[in-house]
Structure 1
Amino acid sequence: MNLLPETWTALLYLAAAVAFILALKGLSSPRTARRGNLIGAAGAALALVTVFLSSDLDNILPILAAIAVGTALAVPAARRVPMTSMPQLVALFNGVGGGAAALVALLELPAMTAWGGQLAVAFTVPVGAVAFSGSVVTFLKLQEVMTTRPVVLPGAPVLMVASALGVVVLAGVLAATGSTPAALVLLALGLVVGLLLVLPVGGADVPIVISLLNAMTGLAVAASGLVLDNTVLLVGGTLVGASGTILTRAMAAAMGRSVSGILFGALRGGSTAGSTAVSDRPVRSSSPEDVAILLAYAHRVVVVPGYGLAVAQAQHTMAELAQTLEAKGIEVLYGIHPVAGRMPGHMNVLLAEANVPYEALKEMDEINPVFKTTDVVLVVGANDVVNPAAKTTPGAPIYGMPILEVADAQQVVFLKRSMRPGFAGIENELLYDPKTTLLFGDAKESLTKVLSAVKGM
């Protein structure tokens, strides 16, 4: 029984859609991201309650049971996941969304009698399947369950073209006939295309692929809104699809690459992930006390955070060190590369967790001119985003990517566990520069020792 009249249902869906728009606006800045997230969650909750109050649900108990099971699994997982694994969690959640949209469309197919509904199903099923299988591969790469290097199967270009053509043909058959067998084969082909699309992507490009797959999930959800005649799904999915597409293009531009080059470069015999061999060339290493002296006598220090900072959970120690330096009259800024970490905004979230002032976070275009007047750059767990190979080595997987120009500073200090290359798998020549010194060890332990030495001065 419908407890809400149609007018109230429409108004509540409108309110939910407005909440989604405000959420995206809030998420555009670290300062307002938390509020934006809460607004988006409130909009989703409102939409869910509206569905229950305005629809005749025949299977209410199984639906409630499914919600209970999903909540019991998702809430603990989301609360316990460390910051280092957040990208993997995002990839999984995104894949689940795409897979759910595809399954809903399949289940609704028998009820579709008009070609328009069948066309919506024909779009939702393969796009949702691609988002699901592709997201699973990104999860496995980020979790390092499988290699982060590009995986090119024998005959991959032929398989990709054949699978894509099969998807187009079967989608046309499904739209024209509403055939369930065609829909099932279309689902299987979509899963194959997702695998073939993401396997050749190297580790450094995985964050961009996550954003692209997120956009595809949004489009699949929007199309499922047409299947279910649900306005809020259509609006929400369209917003996710549009914002994900914009973010994908922006991240690709930040790396100086095209989206097609990222997806198909390895298939064309382009760049690979590079060599993971560790060089035996000598480097200049320092003690925590030596680094403390460099920092204490500086006028300006720029911190470049990377994935290693998240792995060590050293953000709070880093923030305390910055506060100690600032108390001595030293300016401390943070240089944030658009693709640092494993997902968009990873470093912003990490530093916000340590209550680092938003004003101290400087994006790449803003911080690069500052390096020339910087005394010390402290690179904590970053590698690829400061690697000069992006400018000097054609054929490298990061070639053409704009980088943080830390080499312009007077002194550069790398905090590293070892000489192992970064996620892109290539060596960083900056490590051997005469102005560079390395402090080996766990980032949190190293920063704690540096902090203690600075306080003792």
Structure 2
Amino acid sequence: MLGQGFVSAAAIAASVLFILSLGGLSNQEKAKRAVWYGIVGMAVAVFFTAFGPGIGAYWLMIPMILIGSAIGWVVAKRVAMTEMPQLVAALHSFVGLAAVFVAWSADLERMRVAAAKAAGASMEGFSAFAALVATKAPDELTFLQIEVVFAIFIGAVTFTGSVVAFGKLAGKVDGKPRQLPGGHKLNAGAAALSLLLAILYLNGAGFWTLLVLAALSFFIGWHLIMGIGGADMPVVVSMLNSYSGWAAAAIGFTLSNDLLIVTGALVGSSGAILSYIMCKAMNRNFVSVILGGFGGSKGPAAEIEGEQVAIDAAGVASSLNNADSVIIVPGYGMAVAQAQNAVSELVRKLRAAGKEVRFAIHPVAGRLPGHMNVLLAEARVPYDIVMEMDEINDDFPSTDVAIVIGSNDIVNPAAQEDPNSPIAGMPVLEVWKSRVVFVCKRGQGTGYSGIENPLFFKENTRMLYGDARESIDSLLSHID
């Protein structure tokens, strides 16, 4: 058993490591080291918490840690990079559900202590948390109950919301926005009832209020995320990440665990900031997105004229061989086809021929922030040719060839040209301003978000249909 001094010191050390980890993840070159900071920080946190004062039942805890670690290892090894967004959503759901269970347990312990005190019974044999509760003054117990309410509400919303987000990202749930009759009024009504139940609970109504509160919160999380379309799922995943952090922080206050408070606050605040940045990059209203797309559609989208003109790999290679400058725009289609290594080889051959090749990365490319950056880093693409949208967008007019690999919304000119488009006003990569654009795409569908793209019908656009990896492999054989 470790003393409280060791545990407090470990909490400070783990908190510093978590901060270093978050800071390092903002830079591709430092990201790998930053991940290790997070791993070590979590290992320190788990070890010193598990063996701190007042902790017992190791016969149950240690097997659970080992089993959970083994499951996590197997899942992480099996999950492909394309499935990482839904894995993140699934992990958020675990945090939310854990917060609900801990909050329920905390209130049951509070009631058990109150009953023991009323009966004049000894506190011997009670848990360390119960002993802590027994020392609290009435006003402190009220704050404990408030923390329990917050943990249950946020945790339950996070759980069911994350389950729905997982389903939509994995294709197991329809990506279109769907709500029950009444729409946002149902969410508002459930939220109002939740507030009423919280007031009743704080005035001594009993444990049943927490059970009903959790049920209502489960409904809100489910209905809220069901009402958000697939195009907004990257923001939703980021926001649910924030919710899971605040749920953890609330439980940290309940358990008087400083490390859980710090960690939850870091996750909660960083997730909220990232969600805001992503909404700005998509010209989405932050509050509108997190409330289930409140506001509705703007009107019928503009009709698209023309036709999609196909081209083969030999035709694309001919243009590339004659080009001096090339910009590649990767999207989720590249991830699905696992074409990043073939793309990396294409870049190597083009650069060896003396051509300027760069990547243009939109802030919400893929289904998770940084999705494309990770794939390109995995394929050993040099960091210095991977450019953010603001750095490279002005260069398209002077570019000979733009290659779009599995992207749709982030290169859609309707964002600028059609005020009724669902993505109107969204900053996009202006690939159509290049001399010629080649779009690598499976077929003529509208993609995950279901939004038609006028880029595919422009006179300077040619469509290279087929699996992205197979198309790029075929293209490689024609490059000089």
* Distance in 2 separating the partners of 1:145 and 1:53: 41
Match for 2:414: what amino acid? A
Residues 100, 155 of structure 2: 8 Å contact kept: yes
Match for 2:14: what amino acid? A
Structure 2 residue aligned with 1:140 = 167
Match for 2:96: what amino acid? G
Answering whether residue 222 of structure 2 is matched by residue 222 of structure 1, we say no
Match of 2:264 among 233, 237, 240: 237
* Distance in 1 separating the partners of 2:292 and 2:104: 33
Deviates more, 1:148-157 or 1:12-21: 148-157
Match of 1:47 among 40, 45, 48: 45
Other structure's SS at 1:326 match: helix
TM-score by length of 1: 0.95
1:149-298 superposed matches below 5 A: 149-177=176-204, 179-264=206-291, 266-270=293-297, 282-298=307-323
* Distance in 2 separating the partners of 1:107 and 1:203: 36
Structure 1 residue aligned with 2:431 = 406
Residues 265, 271 of structure 1: 8 Å contact kept: no
Match for 1:76: what amino acid? V
How far did 1:179 drift? 2.7
Answering whether residue 154 of structure 2 is matched by residue 123 of structure 1, we say no
Residues 202, 272 of structure 1: 8 Å contact kept: no
* Distance in 2 separating the partners of 1:190 and 1:272: 33
How far did 1:202 drift? 0.7
Residues 439, 462 of structure 2: 8 Å contact kept: yes
Answering whether residue 29 of structure 2 is matched by residue 31 of structure 1, we say yes
Match of 2:473 among 435, 448, 451: 448
Residues 346, 472 of structure 2: 8 Å contact kept: yes
Residues 301, 418 of structure 2: 8 Å contact kept: no
* Distance in 1 separating the partners of 2:191 and 2:289: 18
Other structure's SS at 1:269 match: coil
Pair 350,252 (structure 1): closer, same or farther in 2 beyond 3 Å: same
Pair 327,273 (structure 1): closer, same or farther in 2 beyond 3 Å: farther
How far did 1:165 drift? 0.6
Residues 305, 379 of structure 1: 8 Å contact kept: yes
How far did 1:274 drift? 8.1
Unaligned runs of 5+ in 1: none
Structure 2 residue aligned with 1:348 = 373
Structure 1 residue aligned with 2:71 = 73
How far did 1:281 drift? 5.5
* Distance in 2 separating the partners of 1:54 and 1:264: 41
Q: Kindly provide the CA deviation profile for residues 295-342 of structure 1, in whole angstroms up to 9, marking residues without a partner as x.
A: 111111000000000111000000000010000000110000011101
Structure 2 residue aligned with 1:19 = 17
Pair 417,451 (structure 1): closer, same or farther in 2 beyond 3 Å: same
* Distance in 1 separating the partners of 2:278 and 2:307: 35
Over the aligned positions, Cα root-mean-square deviation in angstroms equals 1.9
Deviates more, 1:443-452 or 1:61-70: 61-70
Count of residue correspondences: 451
Other structure's SS at 2:73 match: helix
Deviates more, 1:187-196 or 1:70-79: 70-79
Match for 1:167: what amino acid? S
How far did 1:177 drift? 2.9
Residues 273, 425 of structure 1: 8 Å contact kept: no
How far did 1:287 drift? 1.1
Pair 345,223 (structure 1): closer, same or farther in 2 beyond 3 Å: same
* Distance in 1 separating the partners of 2:195 and 2:84: 34
Q: Which has the larger radius of gyration?
A: 2
TM-score by length of 2: 0.91
* Distance in 2 separating the partners of 1:377 and 1:216: 39
* Distance in 2 separating the partners of 1:86 and 1:163: 32
* Distance in 1 separating the partners of 2:205 and 2:72: 35
How far did 1:250 drift? 0.3
Unaligned runs of 5+ in 2: 111-132, 134-140
Structure 1 residue aligned with 2:123 = none
Other structure's SS at 1:151 match: coil
Pair 81,272 (structure 1): closer, same or farther in 2 beyond 3 Å: farther
Match for 1:194: what amino acid? G
Percent identical: 41
Q: Kindly provide the CA deviation profile for residues 138-195 of structure 1, in whole angstroms up to 9, marking residues without a partner as x.
A: 1111111111111121112221111011122222333443831111111111101101
Residues 121, 175 of structure 1: 8 Å contact kept: no
* Distance in 1 separating the partners of 2:156 and 2:448: 27
* Distance in 1 separating the partners of 2:421 and 2:96: 33
Other structure's SS at 1:146 match: coil
Structure 2 residue aligned with 1:310 = 335
Residues 122, 172 of structure 1: 8 Å contact kept: no
How far did 1:19 drift? 0.6
Match for 2:53: what amino acid? S
